[in-house]
């Protein structure tokens, strides 16, 4: 449609101006990707008309409103500020107009617009006060430089003061919004999406704007482990000057009058967790840092960041004594820190000096560090009882993993051990490697030479090898040594020994709370024990041979912890065979020990005439031997020497005692007597002997070698008990005799002594020793002495049925026997004989039985006794008296079977047995002698001939001098 000039004149000029301004602003807004709202367009259009048509007036008075809009310009410094007045109306209650202003914020591409509607005025001018303030027409967000926006809210806090003379000043309150491409909110402030700097100020000249700002805590993008919290900061938008005291970091390039940005006067920097106190993040103070279009720039240099080993390096405590770091244009340029590291294996007071550099790790997007050891470290390892002189070639490697430092220490130097029992000079050690996780000690190479003396339990030693035993629970330093046990240069005695310096640790899991909680294994190392793993001795000289080994053990399920050893030895011209010994000392909830020997040697037993030929057994306390019977101990005597004759097991209830098998022999003639017995000695709690027992076998008329191949002629068993507490000695013996088919026999013997009774018996009347001679006679014997003896047996019935015991004198002097002044012996011999001679129909036979015996007491006489005219009766003071008997029985007969041909009747056929002669003879005597000799007794006999002639006879016998003993 064609529009002529008249039509154009009809269009309101304000609308045309608004439309033109809109077109101009639309192009600028598109360049900034923002669109001004209608209120901003109105303000800008009015101001543009005033500027374009030069509608500027001096001050605002009634006459200036003749042709609106008009503007009031005021010059402040090098800049002018224009306020436009438009739309005046006159009403009965007063006159009003609208006012507009647009301010150019330094660095912004667009202006911020202010307006006031219905501003009251009078003929003298504008009525001032809050009703005249030009308020921000809408929320404004403007771009200052890449990465920074400025937002002004239309909340009544942003306005312009003016009067008739024009612009007076502006009140601004807004927030700078930093791009996430540069800064990120601190990780603890998860509700914030952007870093902001809030400010509020009142100024006349925006081109000289310096205002305090409050900046939210932030991190630098690409450096997530550092956090920054600003205490005091100034926004510098002035093109004239900078904030007072502002400094640029070294290496920062900028023309000072043109710089705009944020000057951080004071701020706190939160360090990465890796170099902070355990369980938190340490904070240091910084000053004079910057934030501008290039990002954050600044530097720090502080002391005493983390003290007393408060930082954690995967369980290794360390301090940060000094720290420096530098950032330029939002990037960590580098830094350094130093301090001391505590290694768990070392003494609590021993620390390593270190220095470390800070670098940026592009892949992790965080800072990284490299540690170096400082020279001059001399360390004490309490867990090893050792000291290390550290060489400069030692180093530490630290790897950062999931925000934590993982260390590895490699030491080169010289180590010396100072345990009270094990001391060495300085030994070279290479690559002694320690890490912060199991197995903790992973490598170490030790030299064999040393400077200084080496000792084990004060004995000189030579070191053959040193090595590290890698064990997560109990790592050790193992040493193979030669121990000099003798100072004799001619015949030295040395032993090979293995020593282990063993460590142990206590592990504690410590959890640190916070935004990113994590746990650390705290390890505390201690010296555990000095283990002597094994002592080996092997010595051969012209005089003796010695070989053995001793070793410690621990945590054995049966034996607990202790020490065991075994030894073989031979002394030439003394021990023809090798002797052996073993021992164990241990603790399994209670202390126990044993010592066991196997000695093939002859040991004389004083003046007894006997010697021990071999000894095998042991002494033990709280240990129970598996072998308990004499047969088991005697069987061990025949075994070759070994490390131990038997097995011992811990037993808290088993008493202290000795058990051993031994072979003995009669020294002048081994064939005369020898034997194998078990020796048992028990002790009471006070340490004295409570009992001694011997039980085993005795042999006679055969050597040890001979009885091994064939049965001995005389052998027996012996059992002896000695109880010193109750003062009792009790011994029992049993003997058997076998000499071909001619002689055999068996018997017992006993010895008993106690405070009341005593006796010795070799056979007893009721259980005599028995010997059979060639089958024709059997002798039963006994021998007794003491005050507790068996009475004599009655005479056999073959005697008592014929003769009477009447008139036989008393045979036992019990008082003399009880005082040890006599002894009793006895013997009974008996046998029988039967013979037959046969013909066609009959046999002649004869049978005989005989026996004799005596019970004899030999008494020591009182030397003051006399018998009639005999002044010194007996023989050398001894007198024998006793009882004897003799009996004899015999029978002769004929027997057969009759069966004559001529007789068929029963009376002349059948068996017959006719006794031709049957008789008995018995004698019983009592006797005493010699000097004087005397006996008396009885003899009796009976007979029968063919059962027809029967008879008997008896008579008394007496001879000698039956005097009476008299005396005091």
Per-residue model confidence as pLDDT tens digits over 601-645: 676 655 456 677 777 777 778 888 877 777 777 777 766 555 456
Other C-beta atoms closer than 10 Å to the C-beta of 491 total 11
C-alpha 181/C-alpha 238 separation (Å) is 25
pLDDT score, position 3: 33
C-alpha 375/C-alpha 710 separation (Å) is 85
Other C-beta atoms closer than 10 Å to the C-beta of 134 total 26
Residue from 42, 101, 96 nearest 71 by CA: 101
Residue 719 CA neighbour count, 13 Å, CB half:
7
C-alpha 857/C-alpha 814 separation (Å) is 10
- The answer to whether 350 and 389 are in contact (CB under 8 A) is no
**Helix H or strand E segment including 144:** strand 140-145
**Helix H or strand E segment including 44:** helix 38-52
Residue 312: phi and psi, rounded to 5, are -120, 130
Residue from 529, 507, 531 nearest 519 by CA: 507
What is the DSSP pairing of strand 70-76 with strand 56-57? parallel
- The answer to whether 366 and 223 are in contact (CB under 8 A) is yes
Instruction: With 0.75 as the threshold, say if the pTM is over it.
Output: no
* Residue where the block lists tokens 């005249």: 132
pLDDT score, position 63: 55
Q: Where are the alpha helices (DSSP H) in 865-910?
A: none
What distances in angstroms separate CA 68 from CA 39, 53, 54, 115, 602, one per listed residue?
A: 19, 11, 12, 16, 147
C-alpha 491/C-alpha 508 separation (Å) is 54
- The answer to whether 896 and 910 are in contact (CB under 8 A) is no
pLDDT score, position 75: 86
- The answer to whether 790 and 766 are in contact (CB under 8 A) is yes
Strand, helix or coil for residue 908: helix
C-alpha 236/C-alpha 173 separation (Å) is 15
C-alpha 9/C-alpha 13 separation (Å) is 8
- The answer to whether 111 and 101 are in contact (CB under 8 A) is no
CB within 8 Å of 467: residues ≥ 6 apart: 444, 446, 477, 478
Residue from 752, 856, 758 nearest 812 by CA: 856
C-alpha 930/C-alpha 873 separation (Å) is 8
Buried/exposed code over 819-837 (b: 16+ C-beta within 10 A; e: otherwise): eebbbbbbbbbbeeeeeee
pLDDT score, position 314: 81
pLDDT score, position 774: 63
Residue from 812, 741, 743, 733 nearest 778 by CA: 743
- The answer to whether 457 and 364 are in contact (CB under 8 A) is no
What distances in angstroms separate CA 609 from CA 350, 605, 665, 848, one per listed residue?
A: 72, 7, 9, 47
Residues of the chain with pLDDT under 50: 1-33, 607, 643
pLDDT score, position 15: 44
Residue 897: phi and psi, rounded to 5, are -145, 120
What is the DSSP pairing of strand 648-650 with strand 459-469? unpaired
pLDDT score, position 540: 65
Q: Is the peptide bond before 815 cis (omega within 30 degrees of 0)?
A: no
What is the DSSP pairing of strand 842-860 with strand 866-867? unpaired
C-alpha 808/C-alpha 793 separation (Å) is 15
C-alpha 719/C-alpha 677 separation (Å) is 9
Give the distance from CA 529 to its chain's centroid. 10
- The answer to whether 404 and 314 are in contact (CB under 8 A) is yes
Strand, helix or coil for residue 831: strand
CB within 8 Å of 831: residues ≥ 6 apart: 776, 777, 778, 849, 850, 851
Residue 707 CA neighbour count, 13 Å, CB half:
24
Q: Is the peptide bond before 823 cis (omega within 30 degrees of 0)?
A: no
Other C-beta atoms closer than 10 Å to the C-beta of 937 total 21
Other C-beta atoms closer than 10 Å to the C-beta of 492 total 12
C-alpha 675/C-alpha 735 separation (Å) is 12
C-alpha 93/C-alpha 91 separation (Å) is 5
Residue from 429, 505, 503 nearest 467 by CA: 429
Buried/exposed code over 147-180 (b: 16+ C-beta within 10 A; e: otherwise): bbbbebeeeeebbbbbbeebbeebbbbbbbbbbe
pLDDT score, position 66: 60
C-alpha 401/C-alpha 2 separation (Å) is 78
| Torsional class of 396: left (φ above 0), alpha (ψ -120 to 50), beta (otherwise) | beta
- The answer to whether 636 and 610 are in contact (CB under 8 A) is no
Which two tokens mark 141? 């967000």
* Residue where the block lists tokens 């030579």: 462
Residue from 652, 726, 732 nearest 689 by CA: 726
pLDDT score, position 159: 95
Helices vs strands, H then E, count in the chain: 7, 60
């Amino acid at each position: 449609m064609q529009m002529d000039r008249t039509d154009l004149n009809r269009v309101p000029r304000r609308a045309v101006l608004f439309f033109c301004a809109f077109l101009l602003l639309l192009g600028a807004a598109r360049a900034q990707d923002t669109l001004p709202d209608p209120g901003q367009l109105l303000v800008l259009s009015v101001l543009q008309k005033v500027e374009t048509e030069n509608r500027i007036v001096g001050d605002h008075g009634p006459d200036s409103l003749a042709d609106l809009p008009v503007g009031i310009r005021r010059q402040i410094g090098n800049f002018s500020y224009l306020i436009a007045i438009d739309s005046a109306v006159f009403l009965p209650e007063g006159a009003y107009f609208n006012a507009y202003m647009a301010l150019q914020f330094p660095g912004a591409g667009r202006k911020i617009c202010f307006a006031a509607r219905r501003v009251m005025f009078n003929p003298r001018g504008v009525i001032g006060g809050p009703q005249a303030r030009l308020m921000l027409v809408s929320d404004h967000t403007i771009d200052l430089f890449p990465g920074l926006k400025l937002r002004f809210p239309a909340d009544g806090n942003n306005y312009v003061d003016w009067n008739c003379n024009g612009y007076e000043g502006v009140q601004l309150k807004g927030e700078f919004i930093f791009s996430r491409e540069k800064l990120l909110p601190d990780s603890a402030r998860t509700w914030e999406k952007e870093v902001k700097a809030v400010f509020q100020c009142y100024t006349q000249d925006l081109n000289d704007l310096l205002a305090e700002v409050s900046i939210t805590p932030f991190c630098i993008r690409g450096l997530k482990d550092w956090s920054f919290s600003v205490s005091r900061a100034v926004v510098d938008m002035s093109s004239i000057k900078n904030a007072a005291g502002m400094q640029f970091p070294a290496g920062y390039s900028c023309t000072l009058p043109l710089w705009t940005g944020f000057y951080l006067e004071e701020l706190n920097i939160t360090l990465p967790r890796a170099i902070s106190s355990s369980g938190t993040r340490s904070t240091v103070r910084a000053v004079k840092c910057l934030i501008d279009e290039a990002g954050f720039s600044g530097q720090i240099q502080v002391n005493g960041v983390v003290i007393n080993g408060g930082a954690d390096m995967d369980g290794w405590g360390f301090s940060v004594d000094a720290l420096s770091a530098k950032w330029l244009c939002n990037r960590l340029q580098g830094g350094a820190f130093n301090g001391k590291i505590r290694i768990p294996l070392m003494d609590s007071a021993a620390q390593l000096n270190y220095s470390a550099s800070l670098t940026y790790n592009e892949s992790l997007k965080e800072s990284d560090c490299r540690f170096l050891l400082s020279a001059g470290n001399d360390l004490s390892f309490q867990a090893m009882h050792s000291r290390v002189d550290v060489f400069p070639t030692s180093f530490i490697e630290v790897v950062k993993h999931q925000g934590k430092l993982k260390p590895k220490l490699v030491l080169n130097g010289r180590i010396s051990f100072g345990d009270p029992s094990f001391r060495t000079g300085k030994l070279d050690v290479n690559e002694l490697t320690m890490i912060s996780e199991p197995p903790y000690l992973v490598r170490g190479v030790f030299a064999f030479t040393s400077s200084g003396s080496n000792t084990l339990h004060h004995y000189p030693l030579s070191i053959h090898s040193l090595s590290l035993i890698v064990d997560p629970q109990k790592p050790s330093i193992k040493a193979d040594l030669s121990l000099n046990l003798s100072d004799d240069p001619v015949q030295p005695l040395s032993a090979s020994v293995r020593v282990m310096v063993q460590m142990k640790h206590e592990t504690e899991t410590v959890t640190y709370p916070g935004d990113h909680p994590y746990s650390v294994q705290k390890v505390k190392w201690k010296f555990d024990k000095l283990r002597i793993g094994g002592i080996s001795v092997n010595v051969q000289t012209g005089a003796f041979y010695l070989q053995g080994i001793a070793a410690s053990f621990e945590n054995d399920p049966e034996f607990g912890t202790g020490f065991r050893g075994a030894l073989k030895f031979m002394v030439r011209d003394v021990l023809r065979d090798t002797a052996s010994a073993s021992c164990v000392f241990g603790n399994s909830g209670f202390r126990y020990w044993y010592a066991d020997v196997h000695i093939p040697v002859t040991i004389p037993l004083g003046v007894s005439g006997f010697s021990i030929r071999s000894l095998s057994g042991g002494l033990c306390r709280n240990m129970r031997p598996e072998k308990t019977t004499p047969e088991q101990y005697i069987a061990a005597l025949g075994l070759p020497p070994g490390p131990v004759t038997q097995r011992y097991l811990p037993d808290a209830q088993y008493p202290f005692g000795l058990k051993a098998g031994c072979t003995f022999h009669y020294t002048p003639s081994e064939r005369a007597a020898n034997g194998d017995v078990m020796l048992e000695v028990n002790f009471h709690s006070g340490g004295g002997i409570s009992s001694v027992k011997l039980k085993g076998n005795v042999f006679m008329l055969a050597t040890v070698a001979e009885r091994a191949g064939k049965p001995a002629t005389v052998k027996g068993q012996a059992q002896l008990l000695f109880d010193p507490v109750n003062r009792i000695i009790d011994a029992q013996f049993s003997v058997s005799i076998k000499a071909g088919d001619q002689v055999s026999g068996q018997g017992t013997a006993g010895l008993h002594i106690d405070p009341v009774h005593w006796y010795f018996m070799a056979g007893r009347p009721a259980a005599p020793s028995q010997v059979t001679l060639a089958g024709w006679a059997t002798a039963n014997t006994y021998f007794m002495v003491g005050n507790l003896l068996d009475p004599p047996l009655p005479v056999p019935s073959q005697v008592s049925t014929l003769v009477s015991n009447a008139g036989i004198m008393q045979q036992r002097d019990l008082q003399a026997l009880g005082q040890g002044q006599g002894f009793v012996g006895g013997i009974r011999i008996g046998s029988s004989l039967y013979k037959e001679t046969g013909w066609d129909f009959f046999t002649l036979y004869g049978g005989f039985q005989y026996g004799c015996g005596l019970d004899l007491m030999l008494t020591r006489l009182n030397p003051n006794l006399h018998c009639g005219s005999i002044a010194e009766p007996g023989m050398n003071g001894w007198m024998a008296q006793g009882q004897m008997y003799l009996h004899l029985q015999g029978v002769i007969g004929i027997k057969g079977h009759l069966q004559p041909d001529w007789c068929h009747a029963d009376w002349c056929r059948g068996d017959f047995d006719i006794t031709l002669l049957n008789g008995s003879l018995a004698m019983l005597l009592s006797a005493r002698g010699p000097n004087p000799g005397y006996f008396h007794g009885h003899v009796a006999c009976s007979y029968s001939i063919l059962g027809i002639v029967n008879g008997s006879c008896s008579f008394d016998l007496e001879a000698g001098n039956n005097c009476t003993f008299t005396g005091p």
